[in-house]
Amino acid sequence: MVTDIENHEVVEKARRAKEAARQLARLNSKERQTLLHAMADALLAAESETLAANEKDVARVKASGTASAFIDRLMLTPKRIADMAAGLRQVAALPDTLGEVVRAWRLANGLDMAQVRVPLGVVAVIYEGRPNVTADVIGLCIKTGNAAVLRGSSDAIESNKVIAGVMAEAAEKAGMPSGAIQLIHDTDRSSARQLMRLNGLIDCLIPRGGKGLIQAAVQNATVPVIETGIGVCHVYVDADADLDKALPIVINAKVQRPSVCNAMETLLVHKDVADKFLPAAGSALAEHGVKLIGCPRTCSVLPAAQPATEDDWYAEYLDLILSIRVVDSAAEAIEHIGKYGSHHSDAIITENYSIARRFTSEVDSAAVYVNASTRFTDGFEFGFGAEIGISTQKLHARGPMGLTELTTTKYIVQGDGQVRG
């Protein structure tokens, strides 16, 4: 039951999405593919309109003095728009999960049982900053037969209006039920809070953004929430690491795109290799403009590093800033990750099989890497075609969330007159 709703836009759009969801679930795979290709074509055709809207968003955010890393996430280019369209086509080409029989069996009484994948229904996503998320969410929801209710941030509102608008219009012309794509235009916090409490209309809520947004959803939502966590990601360079292998991994994990949640925020280095590895790593990181913050042992090896505070170990910088700590053992590295990490993505660089096995066993994160960059925690990179977010919880979905994670199951039971005795 929906109660205490003040914002007419939020509840009305959720109701329209709920009505459309029932019709959307009836479309077959080919029909949903047609919708996705129509939306991809519409994005490309609306490039000029989208870029003009995005310029307004970027100018407004720049005027507020926002960090350059955030502006990079907000900014659209012709290539990024082309990538959004290509992403929709890739999703269209993925194998359909709907109707998949997870398991089937026959009971002794002759009943035929089948557990089958079906849409969640109405998926609401509250997100910050990145307008490409708008296209990603819509594409994944339509592919899986879910209606989408999106509530982006004020920073990207003009971009989101155009993107969602042209995609919805094109899809409806191609046969999508009217109302299956809804963008909340009101970006006041109250609209987000109301969306979190629309029991009976919203079947699943996914918050994508900073710690404040995620905690607000977890603490205030009465609808089911899939928690997507922040990314305090670590790379640990072990005593038995191949340092020639470690250096490019560390550089990639930090600087390839520092503004995203799978970028490394803390580097842990074993004391036995610190004197050799840190000068090389510090020099290479400095060339990329990375500001270094370190423990006392780090600062003694890297004089340019600033002393770290306790808060630094918890920090998700999303910028060219890196905390570095020298540890005495792999056990200490694992303990540090357990205390300060966010259960997102963590990596070990080592040639020691036993140490690698211990690390992957004891580090409780959604993605744990051996001799590879944390930057691979991504739906496209995992081969899912796209993602709606990266879950750091343990129920239903964990890690990059693709098509399977946007479905639930129902049991279909076929009988021939059986009754229970």
Task: Answer yes or no: do 247 and 284 share one domain.
Answer: yes
Task: Answer yes or no: do 67 and 99 share one domain.
Answer: yes
Residue 175 lies in a domain: yes
What phi and psi values does residue 100 have, to the nearest 5 degrees?
-65, 135
- Report pLDDT digits (tens) over 390-401: 898 888 889 989
| Mean pLDDT, the chain, integer | 94
Residue 420 lies in a domain: no
Domain that holds residue 64: 8-228+401-414
Task: Answer yes or no: do 220 and 71 share one domain.
Answer: yes
CB atoms within 10 A of CB 18: 19
Average pLDDT over residues 405-412: 96
pLDDT value for 12 = 97
Task: Decide if 351 contacts 244 (C-beta within 8 A).
Answer: no
- Report pLDDT digits (tens) over 258-274: 988 999 999 999 999 99
- Report pLDDT digits (tens) over 170-228: 999 999 999 999 999 999 999 999 999 999 999 999 998 888 888 899 899 999 999 88
Q: Is residue 66 predicted with pLDDT exceeding 80? A: no
User: Domain total for the chain?
Assistant: 2
Task: Answer yes or no: do 88 and 122 share one domain.
Answer: yes
d(CA 115, CA 411): 5
Residue 355 lies in a domain: yes
Average pLDDT over residues 294-301: 98
Q: What percent of the chain has pLDDT over 70?
A: 98
Q: Is residue 118 predicted with pLDDT exceeding 80? A: yes
Task: Decide if 273 contacts 241 (C-beta within 8 A).
Answer: yes
Task: Answer yes or no: do 311 and 332 share one domain.
Answer: yes
Q: What percent of the chain has pLDDT over 90?
A: 85
Q: Which residue has the tokens 């977010």?
A: 389
pLDDT value for 6 = 58
Residue 256 lies in a domain: yes
Task: Answer yes or no: do 93 and 131 share one domain.
Answer: yes
Task: Answer yes or no: do 242 and 216 share one domain.
Answer: no
- Report pLDDT digits (tens) over 276-292: 999 999 999 999 999 99
- Report pLDDT digits (tens) over 336-372: 999 999 999 999 999 999 999 999 999 999 999 999 9
In angstroms, the Cα distances linking 288 to 159, 252, 254 are: 30, 11, 10
Residue 157 lies in a domain: yes
CATH number at residue 220: 3.40.605.10
Q: What is the pTM of this model?
A: 0.84
Q: Which residue has the higher pLDDT, 69 or 335?
A: 335
Task: Answer yes or no: do 202 and 271 share one domain.
Answer: no
Lowest mean pLDDT segment, chosen from 68-72, 112-116, 160-164, 239-243: 68-72
d(CA 348, CA 143): 36
Q: Which residue has the higher pLDDT, 214 or 157?
A: 157
CATH number at residue 252: 3.40.309.10
Lowest mean pLDDT segment, chosen from 59-73, 83-97, 187-201: 59-73
Q: Is 318 helix (H, G, I), strand (E, B) or coil?
A: coil
Task: Answer yes or no: do 190 and 289 share one domain.
Answer: no
Task: Answer yes or no: do 20 and 131 share one domain.
Answer: yes
- Report pLDDT digits (tens) over 321-334: 999 999 999 999 99
Average pLDDT over residues 77-86: 96
pLDDT value for 5 = 45
Average pLDDT over residues 103-124: 98
pLDDT value for 2 = 44
Q: Is residue 68 predicted with pLDDT exceeding 80? A: no
What phi and psi values does residue 123 have, to the nearest 5 degrees?
-105, 125
Q: Is residue 3 predicted with pLDDT exceeding 80? A: no
- Report pLDDT digits (tens) over 307-321: 999 999 999 998 999
Please give the sequence-ordered ranges of beta strands (E in DSSP) within 142-242, or none if there are none: 147-151, 181-183, 204-208, 233-237
Lowest mean pLDDT segment, chosen from 96-100, 125-129, 143-147: 125-129
Nearest to 321 by CA among 19, 8, 68: 68
d(CA 113, CA 188): 47
Task: Answer yes or no: do 54 and 191 share one domain.
Answer: yes
Residue 56 lies in a domain: yes
Task: Answer yes or no: do 137 and 252 share one domain.
Answer: no
Residue 387 lies in a domain: no
